[in-house]
Amino acid sequence: MAFSMGGGGGYSSDINMTPMIDILLVLLIIFMVIVPVTPKGLDALVPQPPKDPTKTPPPTDRTIVVQVIYRAGAAPSYKINETDVAKTDLLARLTEIYANRAERVMFVRGDDDVNFSYIAEVIDIGRAASVDHIGLMTPKIQQGQ
C-alpha cells in the first residue's frame, strides 16, 4: 500500500465531486420551484340544498336552468326555466337574460339519455353569453329539492 507523495506530476484518475454537487443543488432548486405549480382543473358549481328548510327559497326568476330534453331519433329540445327555446335562439335569449344581471350563474340539466356533446354545446353557448359560473344538475341534487 504505497502512496505517491508529490513530485510525480502525472494524471490523476480521482473524480472531482465539487462540480457534481453544484449541479445537483441547481437541479434540486429547479425542481423545488416547479413542483408546487399544479394545473388547475375545471371548477364545478353544484347547487346545494338549503341549510334551513323553513326558509323560503329564492325567487325562481333569479335561477336560470337550461334543460336539454331527449327526443328519440331527433335532436334534443331546449328549455330555459320551463320555456321552450330553439337551439338557434339560445344564445340570443341567454345574452338578453344576463345583460343586466350582476350574478351570472346558470345551471344545465340534461336527461339521462342525452349525449353529453349537446350539454357541452349548451355550456359553450352559456360562456359565449358571458355567464361566469355554469353548474351541472344531477338527479341526486334534483331529488333533494
Is the pLDDT score of 56 beyond 50?
A: yes
Cell of 98: 344576463
Average pLDDT over residues 66-83: 87
Kindly report whether the global pTM for this prediction surpasses the value 0.75. no
Cell of 43: 371548477
Kindly report the number of other CB atoms within 10 A of residue 2's CB atom: 4
What confidence score (pLDDT) does residue 60 get?
46
What confidence score (pLDDT) does residue 99 get?
84
Give which of 127, 116, 60 is closest to 91, Cα–Cα.
127
> In 1-145, which ranges are continuous DSSP H helix?
17-34, 90-97, 116-128, 139-144
> Domains of the chain (ranges plus CATH)?
64-144 (3.30.420.270)
Is the pLDDT score of 14 beyond 80?
A: no
Dist. CA 108–CA 64, nearest whole Å: 9
Dist. CA 37–CA 98, nearest whole Å: 35
What confidence score (pLDDT) does residue 29 get?
92
Query: 7-21, 83-97, 113-127: which range is least confident on average?
Result: 7-21
| Helices 116-128, 90-97: crossing angle, 10 deg rounding | 50
C-alpha to C-alpha distances, 5 to 8, 10, 17, nearest whole angstrom: 8, 12, 22
Strand pairing partners for 134? Answer: 106
Q: Convert 87-104 to b/e letters by CB count within 10 Å (16 or more is b).
A: eeebeebbeebbeeeeeb
- Higher pLDDT pick, 113 / 29: 29
